[in-house]
Structure 1
Amino acid sequence: MNRTIVLASNNAGKLKEFSELLDPLGFSLRTQGEFNVPEADEPHPTFIENALAKARHASRLTGLAALADDSGVCANALEGAPGVFSARFAGEPKSDARNNSKLIEELAPYADKSAYYYCVLVLVRHANDPQPVIAEGRWDGEIIADARGQGGFGYDPHFWLPPLQKTAAELSAQEKNRLSHRGQALRVLVEKLR
């Protein structure tokens, strides 16, 4: 396998986070934008199908191995919503503030505010790889109505972590990377690649 992996994203934060763990293994991670790869459609109802579609798309257009992730927040009382629609829960254009407002409003009638962040990572060695490397992570918490903290993004200011008595937005970047769904999935992926 070529040691260059295309990240099926243009997110600089993800590139930095993933590179920190993959570089020591001898892999060079580059964003799909460096290869003029447009974003893939994400029409599927599950995280894994969307991540696999994004990885295959980037690999097909570059001829290289590709890594993709799909993640979101899932509220138990809402049968896992917003789930794969987390980034666009309140519609277009994407808005963290509107997404959070909608989630809080939809959870209001329920006593159960438990939720979890979920992430799946998919690495394909080539576009038709019949055995992609798959890693997942889950981070449990609760959704609170009042935003707390300045860090993170998305639902983090409303994602309460009872054992820590903090929201995800109140954690340092290092704490979040250690505890988060994405951090967990990335460590599983690294172990599989070793």
Structure 2
Amino acid sequence: MHVYEDPATWAPERVRPKGQLVFRFVLTVLYTPVQIVMWLVALVVFLAICLITEVITVFSSSYERGLFKAGDRVLDPLSKWPAWCVSWPEMRHEGDIAYYRARVERVVGRWTEKASAPRVPKKPRPPVECAIPLRDYRGVGGAYVAQVAVAQGWEPRPTDVRKEVRLWWSAASHID
């Protein structure tokens, strides 16, 4: 049996102790400026490299694509919060099922709105796949995310529910 098929993993996460949440929140407040500075330094270094190697990109499109991929690999992880971070709403609403239900419905609703938007010519297609992170459904479990998503036209994908719930917009296969 795969992890994503085990019903026990789709249950809500247990409520974390208040002291642990406060400690993690304080660490988050101290860590956030450091992360922002690291992101800005990486961006400045990347832009400096781009300016220096601009001459090469004029002659080689593959070098330019590689440079953009490298930028994505460096800057994307720095723009995401680590799993141990705790935000103010998470600390205040830990264990509040109604809050997490509303949060899941809001997040899935936003993704549904994006995915069901009509395609605009010369623009990228609307997203057909999404991932709902654990911090959005911790209090209600992945099963509730799947229930709300299926009601809005999404299909659950193989996923590790302890980290995220991956969804696929099923109407995308019918639209061109």
Structure with the largest fraction of strand? 1
TM value normalised by structure 2: 0.28
Structure with the bigger RCO (C-alpha within 8 Å, sep 6+) is: 2
Structure with the largest fraction of helix? 2
TM value normalised by structure 1: 0.26
